[in-house]
Structure 1
Amino acid sequence: MDVMYYLQTFDHFLIYLTVSLLLFVIGTYIFKLLTPYSERAQIKNGNTAVALKLLGKMAGLVVVLQSAVRHSINLVDLIVWAFIAIIIQIVLHLVIEYVLTRNTSLAKEVEGGNVAVGLFLGGVSVLVGLIVAANISF
């Protein structure tokens, strides 16, 4: 076991970990800004639908971030892919909310506790994250 190798690369690990966690927080915060209700208050009050939707968005972002870390050539590359993932998640949300389901307000459904809608939206976010993550390798 080459201990020196691990000691020499530990700084890179810390830098990428810090940047990845920061990107995760930024992405989650942007998602929060786009939500018309307080996710924190809704989850605190036991709204499972909101928790599932938020967890799915966060999981979709993490999937992309892990792929970006694996395939990025530098920190700038990682940051670019992270923001691409955030933008894609936002666009997807807008398409689902306003194009595919024009007659139903999904935000109101989730805020009202519709677990099926919350699970669906969270699941779609994860699936899109998987697709984006797979394409980062090119």
Structure 2
Amino acid sequence: MVVVTNIVVSVIVIFLLQLIGMLIFSWMTPFKDLEELRKGNMAVGLALGGKFLATAIILGVSAYTNTSIWYMMLWFAVGYVCLIAAYWLFELITPGLKISEHLQKGNTAIGILLCFVFLGTSFAVSSLIV
């Protein structure tokens, strides 16, 4: 019974952290992600999908490598801060390129690049969690 309870609590915490992570990412953009998705904006879809998968990778590795929910949450927070830093660093090293404007205009190349920036960061950061 204790094992089942631990699994249920862990799954609930994982879902909540994923939801909170995506909510924070949506606050970082000046446009409404869901509205852009409804319009069929592929660039926003790619960037949002990259954020979701990158967050899930860090969350999955932190859950897999930690037996305590508290340590899992701590390592997820560290990894998540790295994802946010990667976004702002990407914005900083491309001064002539306003990422959010290009995403909102549907620039698929920017969406793909940002997707891979998030995925690459999540893989690199996940190797530190172990």
Q: TM-score, length-normalised on structure 1?
A: 0.90
Contact 2:58 2:80 in 1 (8 A): no
**Structure 2 unmatched ranges of 5 or more:** none
Task: Tell me the distance in 2 between the aligned counterparts of 1:49 and 1:13.
Answer: 36
Deviation at 1:123, TM superposition (A): 1.3
Query: Which amino acid is the alignment partner of residue 115 of structure 2?
Result: G
Task: Tell me the distance in 1 between the aligned counterparts of 2:79 and 2:2.
Answer: 31
Higher Rg:
1
Partner in structure 2 of residue 136 of structure 1 = 129
Deviation at 1:73, TM superposition (A): 3.1
Matches for 1:64-75 after TM superposition, within 5 Å: 64-75=58-69
Aligned residues: 130
Query: Which amino acid is the alignment partner of residue 108 of structure 1?
Result: E
Corresponding residue to 1:38 among 15, 29, 32: 32
* 2:86 is the alignment partner of 1:108: no
Q: TM-score, length-normalised on structure 2?
A: 0.96
Partner in structure 2 of residue 93 of structure 1 = 87
Tell me which stretches of 4 or more aligned residues in structure 1 moved more than 3 Å. Answer: none
Identity %: 23
Over the residues paired in the alignment, what is the CA RMSD in angstroms? Answer: 1.0
**Structure 1 unmatched ranges of 5 or more:** 1-6
